[in-house]
Chain A
Amino acid sequence: MFGKIVFATSGAPDCDSAARVAFDMAGRYGSEIIVFHCLGIPGKGDSNLVLDVRTGEEVDADEEYLEGVREELRTTYAIQLSGCKKAGIEIAVGNPSREVLRLARKADADLIVMGARGQGLEVGGFYKRGVIGGTHEKVAKAARCPVLTVARPAASFWGGFSNIVFATDFSKASESAFKLAEAVARDVQGDLHLFHCLDLDKLQSPIALTQEGIEGRLAEARRKIQVNYASKLGELAKRTSIEVWEGSPYVEIVKFARERQADLIVMAHHTRELDPDERPFGSTLEQVLVRATCPVISINRPDKLPQAGDA
């Protein structure tokens, strides 16, 4: 299903949950896996210095150090790597989001798996700790392939994905996300839950907020899900449910996923505005990433959609 997986990791324990999912998927689908670590942007002018993830100290990114990092990654993931048919370790120096995207493009990756940010880089206040951060945001927005993020231990992942929530805002990007959700659901023979949340924050006007108005929109959204998605599912429709709630999308998506005991959330990430000043609490996707108890996968484009059962 995913021929080549890029697993972007800091190598720190924060990424263990993501590692479990990444390697498990590689094993399950017989995928090639590339373990990727970015040393961070050369901090000082034109010098070769980078920040060490563990110590936060400046080090020289010379061949000896790079080999040391490679060796540590090999040791950290020794057991998982030994179980992979084809695996490699790649290291880069640079801006992490850029280098993840660069490698994904160069390797023609079918999936990027990322964990939460390592603490070594996150000596900051609540905002920095609580929000996934610019790396995920930029990668999720620009990648041509699906991006799977595991921010918390994925308790229900033990047996693989079987209960998939697809959250849509009916955008064009969501069409790609729907195709991905459908392909995964077919491949794992799981249940699919089609979900939309009517964004009440966007309807803050006395007229739009009448109960009848809201209920009318909910009915309309339900109809749209039926027409745009459910009607195209064929056999899979038997294992599919439709739900439309109102509220703040990220809250409702997380609540819905919890209620359905989902082990994967699929959605698009198509935020054009990346300026954190304009969007202090992040996009819906970013908030879902932080809060969801299961892995979240996002895709905006049709370029690298997996086909069910082609692994």
Chain B
Amino acid sequence: MPEGIYCNKTPITTEEALKALLSDTRGTKYYAEMEQLEVDREKLWATIQKTFKSRMQTWLDVCARCGLCADSCFLYLVNDRNPEQVPSYKIHSTLGEIIKRKGDVDGAFMRHAMEVAWSRCTCCNRCAQFCPHGIDIGVMMGYTRGLLYSQGFVPWELKIGAGMHRVYRAQMDVTTEDWVETCEWMAEEQQDDWPGLEIPVDKEDADIMYTCNAREPKHYPEDLAEAAILFHIAGENWTVPSEGWEQTSLSMFAGDWEACKLQVQTVYAAIERLRPKRVVGTECGHAHRATVVEGPYWAGRPDGQPPAPYIHYVQWVAEALREGKLKIDPAKRIKQPVTYQDSCNYIRNWGLAETAREILSYIVEPGYLVEMTPNKEYNYCCGGGGGFNGIGKFRPMRNKALLTKRDQILATGAKLVIAPCHNCWDAIRDLEEEYHIHIDWSFLKPLLLKMVIVPEHLLPKDEDSEE
């Protein structure tokens, strides 16, 4: 069978196709069809010839398979040092093999490559820090995912995820109407406690345009409310766009580069339309990577930059604390052992480790921050990065991958993990559900709201109780 009804090389572009794929519970039919899916070898090789550029060619050529990357990979360590989990082996046995064979590979090989690309690598890029040649296997694995996606060999959930971006320009079925309604709803819900609070939509020339993760309006709209309250307290002139508000990119996890471009262009169009001085993204690691780090290249931005300065939420928080826009009540600082989860995508790939520590110096009582080992740029992936969290087929492998983070957290003795990244937050929550280690986890926003000093003029005027 060249292509199946559910599993094929055609991207999802309509709501109808999306719903049809969603109706295939756990992708049962999808994966059954994948068993028969044929590789379009000519197209695969043509794609490689067009896109496999000198950097990756050099990396593959110079990799001496010395194995120095082995111990850097948490998946290698957690899987009993299985040689098949050595990063260089993972890439040579997949991408390297496709190149060597000039694209002459069969379906069985591609299914194996899919398993390696999505269940044995989270594209966390940690191995690149330990390679004597500076080879970044995470980047190459991302490229491999793109090849696999173009041939239809992609996990069911990520085909859906990429389709969501194509159909809704969001990783979930949140329409423009749903989003604007959620903004109104959240503003209304907060007005008793925060008189004058607004969530301004499509305000032109604001100081800040805020973008978020579709999971927030879909399931946790209070996250949007919390962002609004903190901007309100800080006195920011801000807005959200009615379209182009979704900053994440499951299509990046899927390797659907066309969808990545479509998604990021929507955000950039909003920036160009509303002309904010700068953009602040929510507490999400991969969203930052997709829209700020890699997005400009997908969108073909000549300067390699988004249309306006674009910062991660931890940068805005650190700045607000530093400049006194947000003031912390010292009595309310965290006075229990607490640890910080460094997200690969804005720490390792964007260098915000010290910015994050600066925030901690304001909100944690000295002596109560217990760092994980290793930490900052050398921290391990949460265990669920790169789409690993959401793929049912690879759940057992993902659950095993969580053990590294579990042991890191347990070793700190901390009962609270601060994780300003949706993916890390999800992985740590699932880790608690899976292994019951009795910890809490939190984004920055709710913590800040508990301890920020609210200026007198922002408090509600009515007195609740006269007693």
Contact = CB atoms under 8 A, between A and B. Distances in A.
Interface of A: 41-49, 60, 62-64, 94-95, 98, 101-102, 105, 142, 144, 169-173, 198-199, 202, 270, 272, 275, 300-301
Contact of B192 (A48, A64, A101, A300): A300
B433 A43 contact: yes
A169 B463 CA distance: 11
B192 A44 contact: no
A301 B450 CA distance: 24
B467 A45 contact: no
A280 to B, nearest CB: 15
5 contacts: A46-B215, A62-B22, A144-B188, A171-B465, A198-B467
A49 B390 CA distance: 10
Nearest to A303: B188
Contact of A171 (B219, B220, B389, B464): B464
B395 interface: yes
A48 B189 contact: no
By secondary structure, the A interface counts as loop
Contacts of B466: 170
Contacts of B161: 46
Contacts, number: 75
B435 interface: no
B185 A105 contact: yes
B276 interface: no
Contacts of A46: 157, 161, 171, 215, 250, 387, 389-390, 426
Nearest to B384: A45
Given A49-B392, A171-B465, 13 more contacts: A44-B389, A46-B215, A46-B389, A47-B391, A60-B25, A98-B219, A98-B221, A98-B222, A101-B189, A170-B465, A172-B462, A172-B464, A300-B192
B25 A64 contact: yes
Interface in B217-276: 218-222, 250
B430 interface: yes
Contact of A301 (B157, B192, B220, B392): B192
B220 A95 contact: yes
B195 to A, nearest CB: 12
Contacts of B22: 48, 62
B22 to A, nearest CB: 7
A253 B142 CA distance: 62
Contacts of A170: 465-467
A125 B346 CA distance: 39
B113 to A, nearest CB: 22
Contacts of B219: 41-42, 94-95, 98
Contact of B467 (A44, A101, A173, A199): A199
A62 B23 contact: yes
Residue from A144, A170, A199, A301 whose CB has the most chain B CB atoms within 10 Å = A170
Interface of B: 22-23, 25-26, 157, 161, 171, 185, 188-189, 192-193, 215, 218-222, 250, 384, 387, 389-392, 395, 423, 426-427, 430, 433, 450, 462-467
Contacts of A105: 185
A172 B192 CA distance: 11
B36 to A, nearest CB: 23
A14 B188 CA distance: 32
A198 B427 CA distance: 47
A105 B185 CA distance: 8
Contacts of B215: 46
B220 A98 contact: yes
Nearest to A42: B219
A39 to B, nearest CB: 12
Nearest to A197: B467
A198 B467 CA distance: 8
Residue from B185, B463, B467 whose CB has the most chain A CB atoms within 10 Å = B467
A164 to B, nearest CB: 22
Nearest to B184: A105
Contacts of B220: 95, 98
Nearest to A301: B192
Nearest to B191: A301
B193 A272 contact: yes
Contacts of B464: 169, 171-173, 270, 272
Given A45-B430, A142-B189, A63 B23 contact: yes
